[in-house]
Amino acid sequence: MRQISTLSEWRAATEDIRQSGQRVGVIPTMGALHEGHRSLIQRAIDDGTTPCVTIFVNPRQFNDEVDLHAYPQPLDDDLARCREWGVAYVLTPTIQEMWPSYPQATATTVQVAGVTEEFEGAGRPGHFDGVASVVTKLFVVTGPSTAYFGEKDFQQLAMVRRLVLDMGFDIDIVGCPIVRDDKGLALSSRNARLSPTGRTAALAISRALKWAADRPRTVDEIDHHVRAALIQAGIDVAYVAVVNQETLQTDIVDGSARVLVAGIVEGVRLLDNAPVVIRKDDTTCC
């Protein structure tokens, strides 16, 4: 495994992969790697691509300095995991390498409208502009490739797909299933900040989503049950929404939808989601 710290070296390395006849499989991360990331790397390997991981805690997607500084950055552990998991190249740039004017504002910002204004976009102003900007830069530097993203951050995945479509990047986007622990909690780097009591409370999210997904239900049934379950567990509900899986709007026309959930446990914002089938007799969705 080769660790790279500059964008010029990364550009050259990924081009060498293509010149050798291989496809680049890029897995953008912010580090604090866990089994969810491992599943993305394994998918890249299974697809026959050369797995290339980027590790960069992007300050432009944080609107809270406390949250930024609290974000775990165990780089040595991350590199050891990448080596163990079969990664070929790892990009670990400094903030100045990615954003030369930092901490001053960067002059260029990428904004994806339509799928970013609600949910995480509403609760975290500027977050998706920061994500779109760093993803765009990584895609430009990496070049033609297949990029792997987890479905846990479903709104982010929808945004990246829209970005690639609109900008015409030669990037194939692969969404990979959510990986959960043995009790059902969606794996997240933020979980490390939960106490045992907090982790127990957080399980209410996955239980409620499992209930919503186990049979066709109405939008109102899902909304009411999921909210009630979270509140009963002492979780501060940021939002519960049943949306079209592509547009993230309420234009559910074929019965296939996604329920998005964000809840705050012990000050930690947790995201989760699940595909659901909406009953046709629900006039609010059709």
pLDDT above 70 covers a percentage of the chain that reads 98
On the question of a cis peptide bond just before residue 103, with omega within 30 degrees of 0, the verdict is: yes
* pTM over 0.75, yes/no: yes
For residue 37, indicate whether it is catalytic.
yes
Domains and CATH numbers, the chain: 2-176 (3.40.50.620), 189-277 (3.30.1300.10)
Structure tokens at 83: 């080596």
Q: How confident is the model at residue 286 (pLDDT cuts 50, 70, 90)?
A: very low
pLDDT of residue 242 exceeding 50: yes
C-alpha distances in Å from residue 244, one per residue of 133, 160, 276: 25, 16, 10
Helix count and strand count (H, E) for the chain: 10, 9
Quick one: average pLDDT of 45-55? 98
The per-residue pLDDT for 66 is 86
Between helix 127-142 and helix 7-19 the angle, nearest 10°, is: 50
> 37, 127, 224, 225: which is the annotated catalytic residue?
37
What count of other Cβ atoms lies within 10 Å of the Cβ of residue 42? 16
The per-residue pLDDT for 285 is 45
